[in-house]
Amino acid sequence: MPDAGAERFFASADGLQLFYRDFAPLTRSPKLPVLCLPGLTRNSRDFTHVAERIRQNRRVLCADLRGRGRSQHDPAWQNYHPGTYLADLGLLLQDAGVARCVLLGTSLGGILSMLLAAMNSNLVAGVILNDVGPEVAPEGRARIAAYVGRHAPPASWDEAVATVRATYEIGMPGLTHDEWVAHTRRSYSDAGGMPRLDMDPMIGEAVRRAPSAAAPDLWSLFAKLLPVPTLALRGATSDILATATFDRMLREKPDLVRVEVPQRGHTPMLDEPASVAAIDEFLARVP
């Protein structure tokens, strides 16, 4: 059974208990740690298989954002926004004793990676963006807003698997039944034999009520990555990271390493051969 990492908790500024997984490197190395940041509805377990590879010579930290995984839900759903997450991540890095690292962010985690790099250039030695860029395609955003937080609690694990498959199969075709079961186990926890969704449903309300006019100019954030080694992964059929945006990213940052992952939409699972090769090659070149 894969190592799930050491379990760490720390207190947020407003008193929530927040969680991250800490994978110690298996060999002594001067390489900087990697901080993995999950997507909107996801949690640290999405990165367990990634951490198993990276930890050969790097420490790996995998965050549960507030309201996800083993981090406490926020009683004030209005706090589910990037400003709060950034403050939490600053405390996570402080708790872990990390002053400089490489960021690996999926979807929302990639946006947070860009924000962290813009706020503190000394913190970030490299960035891996998983199916996200400076523009979020409106059709993808509408799709996510339509379902997030709205699924009824499943009555069984079989029903949970069916729900997860119906939600994500558009972006992850070709998975076997066993792979869907494994993905479901990363989405739900076991509560006395019954599946319990590992995210606060009120995150969906925060997404639906967020005024689009308040969104930051992500192209100006992306510009802060110009001096930072950056790898961008895109699912070949993604409805979040459009081809036109992916192409503009390269024009804006000519040294951007880009990889398109076949048979994936939003988002690559990072276990695909193209993803594995791209991440391994990229990390071999950064501190």
Q: pLDDT tens, 215-229?
A: 568 999 999 999 999
The length of the chain, given as a count of residues: 287
The backbone torsions φ and ψ at residue 99, rounded to the nearest 5 degrees and listed phi first, read -105, -15
The backbone torsions φ and ψ at residue 102, rounded to the nearest 5 degrees and listed phi first, read -100, 140
Q: Is 227 left (phi over 0), alpha (psi -120 to 50) or beta?
A: alpha
- pLDDT per residue as tens digits for the range 12-43: 999 999 999 999 999 999 999 999 999 999 99
Report the distance separating Cα 38 and Cα 119, nearest Å: 19
**Closest CA relative to residue 75, chosen from 15, 152, 11, 20:** 15
Q: Which domains does the chain have, with CATH numbers?
A: 6-149+199-285 (3.40.50.1820)
Q: Helix %, strand %, coil % for the chain, to 5?
A: 40, 20, 40
How many helices and strands, by DSSP H and E, does the chain display? 10, 10
Strand 6-11, strand 17-23: pairing? antiparallel
Report the distance separating Cα 266 and Cα 140, nearest Å: 9
Residue with tokens 């250039």: 121
5 pLDDT more than 90: no
What's the whole-number mean pLDDT along residues 84-107?
98
Strands (E), 212-256: 230-235
2 pLDDT more than 90: no
What's the whole-number mean pLDDT along residues 169-190?
95
* 225 SS3 class: coil
Tokens representing 73 are 């839900």
3-state SS of 116-138? HHHHCCCCEEEEEEECCCCCCCH
DSSP, res 154: P
Residue with tokens 């071999």: 284
Torsion of CA 170, 174, 178, 179, to 10 degrees: -60
- pLDDT per residue as tens digits for the range 101-144: 999 999 999 999 999 999 998 999 999 999 999 999 999 999 99
Contacts of 205 (CB under 8 A, 6+ apart): 77, 149
Specify the pLDDT at position 44.
97
DSSP, res 148: T
- pLDDT per residue as tens digits for the range 198-250: 999 999 999 998 876 455 689 999 999 999 999 999 999 999 999 999 999 99
The radius of gyration computed from the CA coordinates of the chain, to the nearest angstrom, equals: 18
Percent of the chain exceeding pLDDT 70 equals 98
Specify the pLDDT at position 216.
65
The backbone torsions φ and ψ at residue 38, rounded to the nearest 5 degrees and listed phi first, read -80, 175
